[in-house]
Structure 1
């Protein structure tokens, strides 16, 4: 297989939607992936023993695209965005690239925990070797010192780690630049996986192989994926455009999570008048001898606009100091042990009954306490209730994102954090999401081949997401 100087057989993705650029660069190719499964005795699955998938891939300067039928995925490393395009409907959904690495991190930890539970239960035979978990997710399970070991075959090299075969690499291939070889490894990382050492081997090889096989092992048996690269061309477009598509519209029967996140993506930050109005309401409540309600209103102001609760008169401070519900609430929110948190939950629920179940700050605090108890679906429902009533309460999007990530919904977790950070970027609650992104950049730099500089402290790291809960097509991992 050799490179030709023109798009002799350009991918449909390149022709149909990618904008031509004056500075043509990078490569495009067709890939056929044949998956073969060998199940352990007695294991049943709905997955076929053999399946084939064809894709057209473009490796651009700062992006890569993969088209499977009418579905087109674009990974933009300059903006750290992931676009899923429905070419038949001419619509797209947009996500953060951080959600992929974020999900892989919690999934590898989850699989390690499951392996420990199986071992403790005497079910060692059902434990997948860690090297294959790393192969599936492209993230390390632990610090590793040993290296890939080669075994020369007829016309290929079999690369193994800890005695487990990972990559059968054919001799034939096409020489490419360092950047294109790195982009090819990136394509595998985001679609089919590959052990970090395998992907580094391919990236350092300065070529795109004509054929190779990735080996996996699952609880149910062994999996081999055979890759065949064809129709490789140079001159792939250096840029892409979404101009021919529109964000996917919200369905009439969309669930509450989708409705909340879709609305949040289009809401502007609250202006100064919102703070003035909420503070005026707090002053009215103080004057009416309702310090607890005034306290909750000032918290709503802070959670929505980022303004601090300050400039209180001595009389207002004294009224708050003498307010028993404020003491009960703040003491409960500081609880650390399970029993104390359960007591705090009962306190907040009683305060909600006294103040009104629709009170948004108390509903938010009940969600936070349920989250501490691991009651994630109940916490999520409360956060959505708050945001349906107060869609610009920015801090609630941090809590909603935390709950979604705890339930392995990383794409919507980042949509929630991005929405909240766009509304109130300086709000201290978002330091947690910002710190998480910094740790992902530090721990998994290979996932972010381009644009690895974080924005200034407190600024949202990604552009605003379009509405979506669909993640089908974003990964082909086993």
Structure 2
């Protein structure tokens, strides 16, 4: 449970000039420097992120790397929550073999062991075609690995995703969920707060907000 006092410095009369807040994670979490940058720094401008992903997608199309192009837009959604209009229809209509394979693999969530068992290796096989956006596939693979009981494998994949893109909101959310499942709520809130600093309105974080509201209602003494 996150306590409000953890974020409030009491007025003790002691001068704090020259000091700054630091963020420390721990084993199984991103490097402290990444957590501090993401949690305490300014979030990337969504418009700039969109323009960058669009430019990357166009460059990939020009080079004939269609899956890489598609994943640029998936990365945009997982970063900012913005979905490019017509993306679903475009993915359905692209005749590229790798895009078709990706579409087949992602047609169902890894809700059963059978689906997850087929999804994980297929996503690994597609990494080469994914090029500079292979880490987006890793974020999906992490969900499949977790469904198969491989929490540590999922955690390792999410850390790779964050290393590739420190502002990948979805990876922080999923990593926080893994921490919560291990009853490490302090680590979970570190990850969730990082995600909310990047994209506070992201729909992936709705359940985190709901949890926080529930805790504030049922345990107001801590908030």
Asked if 2 retains the 8 angstrom alpha-carbon contact of 1:298 and 1:309, the reply is: yes
Select the residue among 261, 267, 274 that pairs with 2:41. Answer: 267
| Inter-partner Cα distance in structure 2 for 1:315 and 1:274 | 21
Output the TM-score relative to the length of structure 1.
Answer: 0.40
| Inter-partner Cα distance in structure 1 for 2:205 and 2:88 | 30
Select the residue among 192, 197, 200 that pairs with 1:417. Answer: 192
Asked if 2 retains the 8 angstrom alpha-carbon contact of 1:357 and 1:363, the reply is: no
Q: Can you list the C-alpha shifts for 1:315-348, whole angstroms capped at 9, x where unaligned?
A: 77621687322223313x5232112211111211
Question: Equivalences for 1:58-457 in 2 at 5 Å?
Answer: 81-83=4-6, 94=7, 240-241=10-11, 244=16, 246-248=20-22, 257-259=30-32, 260-271=34-45, 272-311=47-86, 318-319=93-94, 323-331=99-107, 333-355=108-130, 359-442=134-217, 445=218, 447-449=219-221
Q: Can you list the C-alpha shifts for 1:83-138, whole angstroms capped at 9, x where unaligned?
A: 2xxxxxxxxxx59xxxxxxxxxxxxxxxxxxxxxxxxxxxxxxxxxxxxxxxxxxx
Structure 1 segments unaligned to the other structure (5+ residues):
1-75, 84-93, 96-238, 452-478
Task: Report the alpha carbon displacement of residue 280 of structure 1 after superposing the two structures with TM.
Answer: 1.8
| Inter-partner Cα distance in structure 1 for 2:141 and 2:84 | 21
Instruction: Show structure 1 runs of 4+ deviating over 4 A.
Output: 248-251, 253-256, 311-317
Cα–Cα, structure 1 residues 358 and 276, in superposed 2: closer, same or farther, change >3 Å?
closer
Output the TM-score relative to the length of structure 2.
Answer: 0.80
Cα–Cα, structure 1 residues 314 and 388, in superposed 2: closer, same or farther, change >3 Å?
closer
Indicate the structure with greater strand content. Answer: 1
Q: Secondary structure at the match of 2:40?
A: coil
Task: Report the alpha carbon displacement of residue 355 of structure 1 after superposing the two structures with TM.
Answer: 3.5
| Inter-partner Cα distance in structure 1 for 2:150 and 2:88 | 39
| Inter-partner Cα distance in structure 2 for 1:319 and 1:424 | 30
Task: Report the alpha carbon displacement of residue 375 of structure 1 after superposing the two structures with TM.
Answer: 1.6
| Inter-partner Cα distance in structure 1 for 2:222 and 2:182 | 29
Pairs aligned (count) = 215
Please name the residue that 1:103 is paired with: none
Cα–Cα, structure 1 residues 424 and 313, in superposed 2: closer, same or farther, change >3 Å?
closer
Task: Report the alpha carbon displacement of residue 406 of structure 1 after superposing the two structures with TM.
Answer: 1.2
Q: Secondary structure at the match of 2:106?
A: helix
